[in-house]
Amino acid sequence: MTPAPQPDDRPRVRLKPKINARGLRHGFPWVYANELVTDRRTRSLQPGTLAVLEDDARAPLGLVSVNPNSRIICRMIDRDPAAEVDVAWFAERLQRALDLRARLYDAPFYRLAHAEADGLPGVVIDRFGDVAVVQPNAAWAEVHLAAMTRALVEVTGVATVLKNAGGRTRGLEGLDDVSGVLHGQAPDRPVPVPMNGAIYMADLTGGQKTGLFFDQRPNHAFAARLAPGARVLDVFSHVGGFALAALAHGAASALVVDGSAAALDLARAGAEASGVGNRFQTRQGDAFETLAALQEEGAQFDFAICDPPAFAPARSALEAGLRAYERIARLAAPLVAPGGYLVLCSCSHAADLERFRTACTRGIGRAGRQAQLLHTGFAGPDHPQLPQLGESGYLKALVFRL
């Protein structure tokens, strides 16, 4: 086995002249390709190589991972340029992350590591009891995956670690899309996940992302407070989303809409496991078309929720994404009975809160409705934000009364 490079042997990369390093010194975690001197030596580094980052005066700024193939050419790994990234290094960060979640949640179902905000750039780890699902969305994490897995097992005691390689970011990093088992044995059936009084079914090997979205948990809880006696419509429901929480808190009925038959099957299983199957219906189809069809049918609901995938995953898609959010609001608002509630969500980090809110209110207005904004929600505390990195605060949930 080749020994790991010692600090003095590590490659060095340097910011271009006149690039201000203040942001990096104050916690910003990335260096973009146009900010780094990319000579032949730097371009020849293998993706995921650890290097010492220097400012233009050759003063060290920290230990970074380098990926010459990525727009984010450097990610800050450790402020100590001499840090050794080994099992102990991962264990320290994972223990710190686990200590926070253990204070927040009474059961081991949560996001254990939220990338840069937990000191693990590009790494997402969701925990489902004794199973952890890792998304190594940056090249350096792929290189150090064995050490990370060993530390994860040591710190948490999980029996199984799965790798999910389906993230969009992996493609931007030049990584493959091959998922697999890193430790233990993959579950042969969906895993039941208790949240907000309901049971959700998570497919950890064939579902979307890591199998379940923990980020909406507090928004599910807020919406559920308004749900007793309500007829609920949950569009882009995935495995039951808002609907199951609402039913668990006394909603009269729920219709969930999603384009995926597999997701709807899991939602139905969750409803049965939660004991609310008799108040639960599914409808497969395109969300926009289904909303229009429900309006033609004269359907009315006391509570409608639209929680779509990212319509604006990058700045290049921002304007089209905002138009899509406006259209969703315009189509959903007529379905809400007077005095009812409309929840509109965005997981697009490129669409900031103000622009998203403006698109939603414009859509509601164009539907001929008046609205009160009751609540603005964000991701739960198991998805902490890195204050210097706006992208870490991606989720927005607006609760309106119409």
Give every CB contact of residue 242 below 8 A, 6+ residues apart in sequence.
Answer: 216, 219, 220, 223, 224, 232, 234, 305, 307, 343
pLDDT digits (tens, 9 = 90+) for 142-181: 999 999 999 999 999 999 999 999 877 888 899 999 999 9
pLDDT at 4: 55
d(C-alpha 217, C-alpha 304), whole Å: 17
Environment class of 22 (CB within 10 Å of its CB; exposed 0-12, middle 13-18, buried 19+): exposed
Environment class of 6 (CB within 10 Å of its CB; exposed 0-12, middle 13-18, buried 19+): exposed
Residue showing tokens 């497969």: 284
The DSSP element (H or E) to which 43 belongs, if any, is: helix 40-43
Helices (H), 157-205: 168-172
Map out the domains of the chain with their CATH numbers.
Answer: 10-78 (2.30.130.10), 87-183 (3.30.750.80), 191-401 (3.40.50.150)
pLDDT at 211: 81
pLDDT at 8: 65
Residue showing tokens 């900010």: 35
Handedness of CA 191, 194, 195, 196 (dihedral sign): positive
Give strand pairing partners of 49: 66
Beta pairing, strands 72-78 & 30-32:
antiparallel
Handedness of CA 349, 350, 355, 357 (dihedral sign): negative
Of 74, 345, 347, 360, catalytic: 347
Contact 134, 148 (CB under 8 A): yes
Token reading at 72: 């984010």
Contact 233, 337 (CB under 8 A): no
Give strand pairing partners of 96: none
Residue showing tokens 């040591």: 154
Contact 129, 108 (CB under 8 A): yes
pLDDT at 1: 44
pLDDT at 7: 57
Answer yes or no: 360 catalytic.
no
pLDDT digits (tens, 9 = 90+) for 310-355: 998 888 889 999 999 999 999 999 999 999 999 999 999 889 999 9
The parts of the chain modelled with pLDDT lower than 70 are 1-8
pTM tops 0.85 = yes
| Cα–Cα distances in angstroms (integers) from residue 23 to residues 31, 66, 143, 388, in the given order | 10, 18, 27, 8
Token reading at 94: 């994972």
pLDDT at 256: 98
pLDDT at 168: 78
The DSSP element (H or E) to which 139 belongs, if any, is: helix 139-143
